[in-house]
């Protein structure tokens, strides 16, 4: 297992400067948000920073986290906002 735990993935959402939401997965959410803010994260967030972390949840294994990420991305904007609590 390469010395890593299966359950150390997180699913997260950030709000970009333009108000849009980006959903991703990471092992270290804070470091990933820092990458987004440094312009070295996902292509989508480049030029839309700074981003603010608005949601995260344990994702389990990488595969489980990817499935949850896909489910969150499929939600409507209103459903995402309700999940975040805004």
pLDDT in tens, the chain (86 residues): 444 566 799 999 999 999 999 999 999 999 999 999 999 989 999 989 999 999 999 999 999 999 999 999 999 999 999 999 95
Q: Is residue 81 part of a domain?
A: no
Enter the pTM of the model: 0.88
pLDDT of residue 41: 87
Q: What residue numbers bound the domain in which 25 lies?
A: 9-74
Contacts for 68 with CB less than 8 Å, ≥ 6 apart: 11, 25, 57, 59
Q: How many structural domains does the chain have?
A: 1
The CATH number assigned to the domain holding 39 equals: 3.40.1440.10
């Amino acid at each position: 297992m390469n010395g890593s735990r299966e359950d150390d993935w997180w699913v997260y959402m950030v709000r970009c400067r333009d108000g849009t939401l980006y959903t991703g997965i990471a092992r270290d959410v804070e470091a990933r948000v820092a990458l987004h803010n440094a312009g070295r994260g996902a292509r989508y967030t480049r030029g839309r920073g700074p981003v603010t972390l608005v949601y995260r949840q344990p994702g389990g294994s990488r595969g489980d986290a990817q499935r949850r990420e896909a489910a969150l991305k499929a939600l409507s904007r209103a459903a995402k906002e309700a999940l975040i609590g805004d």
